[in-house]
Each structure stands twice: as structure tokens, then as C-alpha cells.
Amino acid sequence: MTKLLEWVSVLSAMFAVWYSLIGGYVKHPLIEKNINLILISPLIFIALFGLYAVTVVLYRVFTFNNCEEAAKELQNEIAEARKDLLDKGLKF
């Protein structure tokens, strides 16, 4: 099964549940009391997920390791390499 099909099947299962609740196919006092909330629940869900995504991405951007050490080490090694290679007769 492709990832696309996986998404389609999970999303349609969720849609089916939601639709049966708002369509009155399932009857329960709790459902009737919260019908407005159920109606907009997909929107709430999307908004919450969007918030989660933005938070995670921004957190990872700000904690993205800046390899100052590695950069410095590389600069030193470049200098060392150039010197050694010149000694070995390399013409840059």
C-alpha cells in the first residue's frame, strides 16, 4: 500500500466516524449536547496540528546545533593539509 493510500484510508475512516456523529446515525444525549463542538472538531483538529507542526519546526530551527567547533577544527586541518601537501610537492 502506498503512503497516499494509507493517508486516504485513515482520513476516510475518521471522516466516516465524524459523519455518523453529525448525521444523527448514532444517538446519544452526549452527542446532542456537544453537536456544535463535534461539527467543528475537524477544524479544531487541523488548527491544533498546525500549531504542533509550527512549534516543533521552530523549536528544531532554534536548537539546530551550530558546529562552531567542527568549523574551527576544519580550518586548522585545512591549513595543516595545505602545508603538508606543499611539502609533498603539490602545486595548488
**Contact positions vs another protein (CB under 8 A):** 2-4, 7, 53, 56-57, 60-61, 64-71, 74, 77-78, 81-82, 84-85, 88-92
Question: C-beta of 48: minimal distance to another protein in Å?
Answer: 15
CA 75 to chain centre: 34
Question: C-beta of 31: minimal distance to another protein in Å?
Answer: 31
Tell me how far apart the alpha carbons of residues 68 and 74 are, in angstroms, rounded to a whole number.
10
Question: C-beta of 33: minimal distance to another protein in Å?
Answer: 34
Tell me how far apart the alpha carbons of residues 92 and 79 are, in angstroms, rounded to a whole number.
13
Q: Which is nearer to another protein, 35 or 85 (CB)?
A: 85
Give the CB-side neighbour count of residue 68, counting CA atoms within 13 A: 0
Q: Which is nearer to another protein, 35 or 53 (CB)?
A: 53
DSSP symbol at 23: T
Tell me how far apart the alpha carbons of residues 4 and 7 are, in angstroms, rounded to a whole number.
5
Q: Which is nearer to another protein, 4 or 30 (CB)?
A: 4
